[in-house]
Amino acid sequence: MEYIIKNGIVYDPINGVNGEKMDICVKDGKIVEKVSEDAKVIDASNCVVMAGGIEIHSHLAGPKVNTGRMMRPEDSIKEIYAKKGLRCGTGFSIPSTFKTGYQYCELGYTFALEAAMPPLKARHVHEEFLFTPQIDVAALPLFGNNWIVFKYIMEKDYKALAAYVAWMLKATKGYGIKIVNPGGTEAWGWGTNVHSLDDPVPGFDITPKEIVKGLGMVNELLGLPHSIHVHPNDLGHPGNYEVTIETMKLLEDVKAKPKIGERWSSYHNTHIQFHAYGGTSWKDFESKALEIIDYVNKSKHVTIDVGQVTLDETTTMTADGPMEYDLYMMTKFKWANCDVELETGSGVVPFIYSRKNPVHSVQWAIGLEVLLYTDTDKVILTTDHPNAGPFTRYPRILAWLLSKEYREDWLYNKVHKWARERTALPDADKEYDMYEVAKITRANQAIALGLSESMGHLGVGANADIAIYEIDPEEKNGKKIEKAFRYAKYVLKDGEVIVKDGEIVKEKFYRTFYLDVQVDESLMNEVLKDVEEMFKRYYTINFENYVVTEEYANNWKPIKIDATNL
Ligand SMILES: [Zn+2]
């Protein structure tokens, strides 16, 4: 099928296209130079045209998400999804799988990354992906509290660690290295936590600093498309901004060396909002966003995503087990907790962010400070779905960025005064333009994930993943902005129209991306001996039952990386 998208106002930062009125041609799933006279015309007059959106950090599939769904029937009934020709779904902050796929699609998103896959439970993640339509997907396995990782770092055997990472990515069908509260989740197995980069991990002669640095070096040794993806120690605690900056500094002299893609960063700090806190308690709690932003703007190796608080009732879930316990002690509502053998752990706690709450209002403002003051080549829009709010609030966040008037209506009339008194948000004059919106919702993600050859832009040869929004680029009415981005007028995926006039017109399942990293065979055999030994001694399941097999995807998309010369 051929299409020509006519007269749209195009925003494509990767190709430097900033609001030009131009036609986009589509043939055989790709963007092409031109099409034949018979091509179907899509009229995009008075519409903004961008590449499909890319989600870089979300909890959309797997055991944590499903635990959230089971423990929160009240969330399930809060939002019912029932549309003709589509599967029904439920859930506001933790939607069912079909609803998740549909709603990303309605926003014009065409790819989503599950940000925390417990390796032992990888099959559950992939099973949910099997029923998540409309988007390409991938998942990051957790490495930051894994005993085999600890063993090789303690032995300073980084080649063995690299081979183990390569094996794990293939075995779990994962896309990169996720680190959550390095050492802290392991400590939680002993009822404790780590609080600084030099705190030793109980039972191991290792520190968080060595874990982050070791995995960061190995990431570049292998030349993976994405950098290490880090949730540093001390998430959500007053005064944590210093640990955050110290953790970023660890990778300062580790250069990005991706074997594919155009990534320039060697460190991605996720949901930075939760890591930008000053004060010594909730009483003197304040924003330290500007300190963090100052470091990020000066650095040449860091990308961040925001984790914007949307001020909704939501469900928090993370591999940061001890943090969820702290949160539970504060809220005393519900709490689920899990230890994933020698790999990781997790917790799930419902949370109500309130506009009237001083701390929540400061958290809300910190996210906006990050988005408004950081170099827009380095910052990415997320809500850490569902931790700071559901991804379906992205349109409202864009409205806060595009319209100062709308943002200030919230700042001065809707949230607690601490947001004005304890952050720099009142001084932020900036308003985003559509070019910057395209950066923080698709282009920056594509580069950071090493996917920019085929995604995140509208150049010839790219996948024809396209979102068309019916909006005047100069629109300042917050409600109108929110509506336009909530339901894309058209979405094309692989060159097919799957959304028309805001309605999903075709349900389809797409690809699961993973990394197929080749390392030297004799090195791999040595490492597999260690892994099998661990299975014999510690794991409750057999080695043979661990690996995610072929039938766990609708369509695998392996990305081959040759790392045989380490
Ligand atoms: Zn997260």
Tell me the per-residue pLDDT of 414-426, one tens digit each, with 9 for 90 and over.
999 999 999 999 9
pLDDT in tens, 348-375: 999 999 999 999 999 999 999 999 999 9
Nearest to 374 by CA among 439, 312, 447, 319: 439
| CA 57 to ligand 1 centroid distance, Å | 6
Nearest of 17, 15, 53, 18 to residue 440 by alpha carbon: 53
* Ligand 1 center–CA 72 separation, angstroms: 19
The confidence score (pLDDT) of residue 523 equals 98
Q: Per-residue pLDDT averaged across 19-24, rounded?
A: 98
Amino acid at 82: A
Task: Quote the CA–CA distance of 154 and 137 in Å, as a whole number.
Answer: 34
| Ligand 1 centroid to residue 255 C-alpha, Å | 25
Ligand 1 centroid, distance to 316 Cα (angstroms): 9
Q: How far apart are CA 555 and CA 543, in angstroms?
A: 25
- Residue 39 CA to ligand 1 center (angstroms) comes to 42
pLDDT tens per residue across span 261-302: 999 999 999 999 999 999 999 999 999 999 999 999 999 999
Three-class secondary structure assignment of 252-312? CCCCCCCCCCCCCCCEEECCHHHHCEECCCCCCCEECHHHHHHHHHHCCCEEEECCCCCCC
Distance 459 CA to ligand 1 centre (A): 31
Q: Is 41 helix (H, G, I), strand (E, B) or coil?
A: strand
81 CA distance to ligand 1 middle (Å): 25
Query: Is the four-CA dihedral 151, 156, 157, 159 of positive or negative sign?
Result: positive
Residue type, 534: M
Whole-number average pLDDT of the chain: 97
Contact 136, 162 (CB under 8 A): no
Q: How far is the CA of 114 from the centre of ligand 1 (A)?
A: 9
> Is this model's pTM higher than 0.85 or not?
yes
Q: Which two tokens stand for residue 195?
A: 């609080």
What's the CA-to-centroid distance between 318 and ligand 1, angstroms?
A: 6
220 sits in the region (left: phi over 0; alpha: psi -120 to 50; else beta) called alpha
Q: How far is the CA of 227 from the centre of ligand 1 (A)?
A: 16
Identify any residues that bridge with 379 across adjacent strands, giving them in sequence order: 304
Please give the pLDDT value at position 444.
98
What Å distances lie between residue 492 and 47, 80, 340, CA to CA? 15, 25, 39
Alpha-carbon distances, residue 15 vs 50, 224, 291, 381 (angstroms): 12, 24, 32, 20
| In the predicted structure, residue 260 carries a pLDDT above the cut 90 | yes
* Residue linked to tokens 């080549």: 377
pLDDT in tens, 414-463: 999 999 999 999 999 999 999 999 999 999 999 999 999 999 999 999 99
Q: What is the DSSP string of 326-391?
A: HHHHHH-S--EEEEETTTEEEEEEEEE--TT-HHHHHHHHHHHHHHHHS-TTTEE---TBTTSS-G
From the CA of 228, how far away is ligand 1's center (Å)? Answer: 14
State both tokens at 245.
């900056």
Alpha carbon of 182 to ligand 1 centroid (Å): 14
Contact status, residue 465 vs residue 51, Cβ threshold 8 Å: yes
Whole-angstrom distance, CA of residue 115 vs CA of residue 95: 16
Greatest extent of the chain over all pairs of C-alpha atoms, in Å: 70
The predicted-structure confidence for 100-110, as pLDDT tens digits, reads as follows: 999 999 999 99
Give 132-170 as a 3 state SS string. CCCCEEEEEEECCCCHHHHHHHHCCCHHHHHHHHHHHHH
Q: How close is the Cα of 77 to the center of ligand 1, in Å? A: 24
Mean pLDDT of 229-250: 98
Distance 177 CA to ligand 1 centre (A): 13
Find the 180 Cα to ligand 1 centroid distance in Å.
9
The predicted model gives 399-404 an average pLDDT of 98
Q: What is the number of residues in the chain?
A: 566
Per-residue pLDDT band at 193 (split at 50, 70, 90): very high
How far is C-alpha 506 from the geometric centre of its chain's CA atoms? 26
Please give the distance, rounded to the nearest whole angstrom, from the Cα atom of residue 59 to the centre of ligand 1: 6
In angstroms, how far is CA 201 from the centroid of its own chain? 27
Residue whose C-alpha is closest to residue 141's, from 163, 110, 111, 120: 120
> Per DSSP, what are the bridge partners of residue 309?
none
Task: Tell me the CA–centroid distance for residue 47 and ligand 1, in Å.
Answer: 33
Distance 542 CA to ligand 1 centre (A): 29
Whether the pLDDT of residue 527 is over 90: the answer is yes
In this model, does residue 195 exceed pLDDT 90?
A: no
- Please give the distance, rounded to the nearest whole angstrom, from the Cα atom of residue 382 to the centre of ligand 1: 9
Ligand 1 center to 236 CA (angstroms): 12
Q: Measured in angstroms, how far is the CA atom of residue 476 from the centroid of ligand 1?
A: 31
Q: How far is the CA of 26 from the centre of ligand 1 (A)?
A: 35
Q: How far is the CA of 213 from the centre of ligand 1 (A)?
A: 20
CA 383–ligand 1 middle distance (angstroms): 9
Q: Do β-strands 228-231 and 178-180 pair in parallel, antiparallel, or remain unpaired?
A: parallel
Using alpha carbons, list the distances in angstroms from residue 54 to 330, 364, 455.
34, 23, 8
Closest CA to 229 of 33, 66, 55: 55
Distance from residue 151's CA to the centre of ligand 1 (Å): 26
Beta-carbon contacts of residue 253 (< 8 Å; ≥ 6 apart): none
What pLDDT digit, counting tens, does each position of 37-94 carry? Answer: 999 999 999 999 999 999 999 999 999 999 999 999 999 999 999 999 999 999 999 9
Distance from Cα 231 to the centre of ligand 1, integer Å: 8
